[in-house]
């Protein structure tokens, strides 16, 4: 069946009728929606929507993550042939998942973008559909959290990152990817006591109450033990997972704006994500994939796998 589909199927992103099921379209051909899901704005009967936010004007160093959603979608064409490895179910066949496309914004009116992102996510949530977002720089998580907190109340934030992003900044008009966690705490969008930052390896003197498991702790304690600690911190609180690709060491993900050595391996990240199965995940994102700084495409491949794991985590408790 798979071989026959490969011979005859093309552009599943537009031609497929069923929102569920694997896809056997040639990886090197066709329209590159995420995991070959159907491109649609129709959320009737949809469980989960993947959407892109190609915004990178909040960075402190290198731009390029505006190309992240496109690159992650292209990299994901290697994955929709089989259920994700290591899980005992197939989210692509059991859940209606679509590619909702990208948020629209005027790149020359940066100040309008946060509100547009928030409204974009709010529309999806209003249809009782979850979201997995492809960034974009890490600022985009801030307006997403606003939309989620409006629906769920203060969230437990599970943040994989090299940086804490808790630099104090009480100017809420500033658009900065290094301050979004601080602002989320100040606005009551997240509960720091229930939140955890994993992979941190840069200095910030004030954690603002966030639980921190730095990269060294992951290396020394092992990802299985750290995953258990994450579950204990978060409990059954509604959780949002944000994965900055620079949580991975530059050896595994060189295509990012602010790379820092000593990070997680892709193998450690895979174990961590799979072993926190059962957390009450309501949404998530993968951000800071910057394709111009990785000619191999490995960073986008990592981003696509992270997004698939977030999907599996979201679906796990809803089987």
pLDDT (tens digit, 9 = 90+) per residue, 190-245?
A: 999 999 999 999 999 888 999 999 999 999 999 999 999 999 999 999 999 999 99
As annotated, the binding site for Mn(2+) includes 138, 161, 163, 165, 244, 246
Is residue 28 within 8 Å of residue 105, measured between CB atoms?
A: no
Is residue 116 within 8 Å of residue 142, measured between CB atoms?
A: no
Specify the fold of 2-316: 3.40.800
pLDDT at residue 73 greater than cutoff 70: yes
Give the model's pLDDT for residue 1. 54
61 pLDDT tier (thresholds 50, 70, 90):
confident
Q: Which of 205, 272, 267, 200 is nearest to 234 (CA)?
A: 272
- Say which DSSP state 144 is in: H
Note the pLDDT tens digit of each residue in 146-196.
999 999 999 999 999 999 999 888 887 888 888 999 999 999 999 999 999
Q: Which of 50, 29, 59, 27 is nearest to 293 (CA)?
A: 59
Note the pLDDT tens digit of each residue in 270-316.
999 999 999 999 999 999 999 999 999 999 999 999 999 999 999 99
Give the model's pLDDT for residue 3. 55
Give the model's pLDDT for residue 206. 87
Distance CA 154, CA 190 (A): 5
Distance CA 207, CA 210 (A): 5
Give the model's pLDDT for residue 129. 98
**What's the whole-number average pLDDT of the chain?**
95
Distance CA 144, CA 131 (A): 10
Distance CA 250, CA 244 (A): 12
As annotated, the binding site includes 138, 161, 163, 165, 244, 246
Q: Domain spans of the chain?
A: 2-316
The conformational region for residue 288 under phi > 0 = left, psi -120 to 50 = alpha, else beta, is left
Distance CA 124, CA 119 (A): 9
Q: Is 53 helix (H, G, I), strand (E, B) or coil?
A: strand
pLDDT at residue 2 greater than cutoff 80: no
Rounded to 10°, the helix 113-126/141-152 angle is 40
The backbone torsions φ and ψ at residue 247, rounded to the nearest 5 degrees and listed phi first, read -60, -30
Picking from 1-5, 31-35, 167-171, which range would have the lowest pLDDT averaged per residue? 1-5
Distances (CA, A) of 144 to 16, 22, 140, 242: 29, 29, 7, 10
Give the model's pLDDT for residue 169. 87
- Report residue 4 CA to chain centroid gap: 33
Give the model's pLDDT for residue 220. 98
Give the model's pLDDT for residue 9. 83
Q: Which residue pairs, CB below 8 angstroms and at least 24 apart, start in 79-82? A: 79/35, 79/304, 79/305, 79/308, 80/22, 80/23, 80/25, 80/35, 80/36, 81/2, 81/22, 81/23, 81/24, 82/22
Is residue 76 within 8 Å of residue 38, measured between CB atoms?
A: no
**What mean pLDDT is predicted for residues 257-274?**
97
Does the pTM surpass 0.85? The reply is yes
Q: Is 112 helix (H, G, I), strand (E, B) or coil?
A: helix
Residues in Cβ contact with 3 at an 8 Å cutoff, skipping those fewer than 6 apart: 24
Q: Which of 206, 226, 103 is nearest to 160 (CA)?
A: 226
Distance CA 20, CA 93 (A): 5
């Amino acid at each position: 069946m798979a071989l026959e589909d490969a011979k005859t199927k093309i552009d599943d992103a537009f031609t497929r009728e069923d929102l569920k099921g694997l896809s056997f379209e040639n990886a090197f051909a066709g329209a590159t929606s995420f995991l070959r899901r159907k491109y649609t704005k129709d959320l009737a009967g949809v469980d989960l929507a993947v959407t892109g936010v190609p915004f990178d004007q909040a960075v402190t160093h290198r731009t390029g993550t505006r190309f992240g959603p496109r690159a992650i979608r292209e990299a994901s064409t290697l994955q929709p042939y089989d259920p994700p490895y290591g899980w005992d179910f197939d989210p692509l066949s059991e859940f209606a998942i679509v590619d909702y496309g990208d948020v629209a914004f005027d790149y020359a009116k940066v100040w309008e973008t946060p509100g547009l992102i928030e409204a974009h996510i709010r529309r999806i949530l209003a249809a009782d559909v979850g979201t997995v977002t492809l960034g974009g720089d890490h600022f985009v998580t801030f307006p997403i959290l606003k939309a989620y907190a409006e629906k769920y109340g203060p969230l437990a934030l599970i943040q994989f990152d090299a940086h804490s992003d808790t630099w104090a900044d009480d100017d809420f008009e500033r658009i900065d990817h290094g301050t979004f966690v601080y602002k989320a705490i100040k606005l009551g969008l997240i509960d720091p006591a229930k939140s955890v930052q994993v992979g941190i390896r840069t200095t910030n003197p004030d954690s603002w109450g966030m639980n921190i498991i730095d990269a060294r702790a992951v290396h020394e304690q092992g990802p299985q033990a750290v995953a258990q600690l994450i579950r204990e911190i978060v409990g059954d609180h509604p959780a949002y997972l944000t994965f900055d690709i620079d949580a991975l060491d530059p050896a595994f993900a060189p295509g990012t704006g602010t790379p820092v050595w000593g990070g997680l391996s892709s193998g450690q990240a895979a174990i961590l994500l799979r072993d926190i199965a059962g957390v009450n995940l309501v949404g998530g994102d993968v951000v800071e994939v910057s394709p111009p700084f990785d000619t191999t495409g490995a960073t986008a491949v990592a981003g696509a796998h992270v997004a698939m794991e977030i999907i599996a985590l979201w679906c796990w408790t809803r089987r």
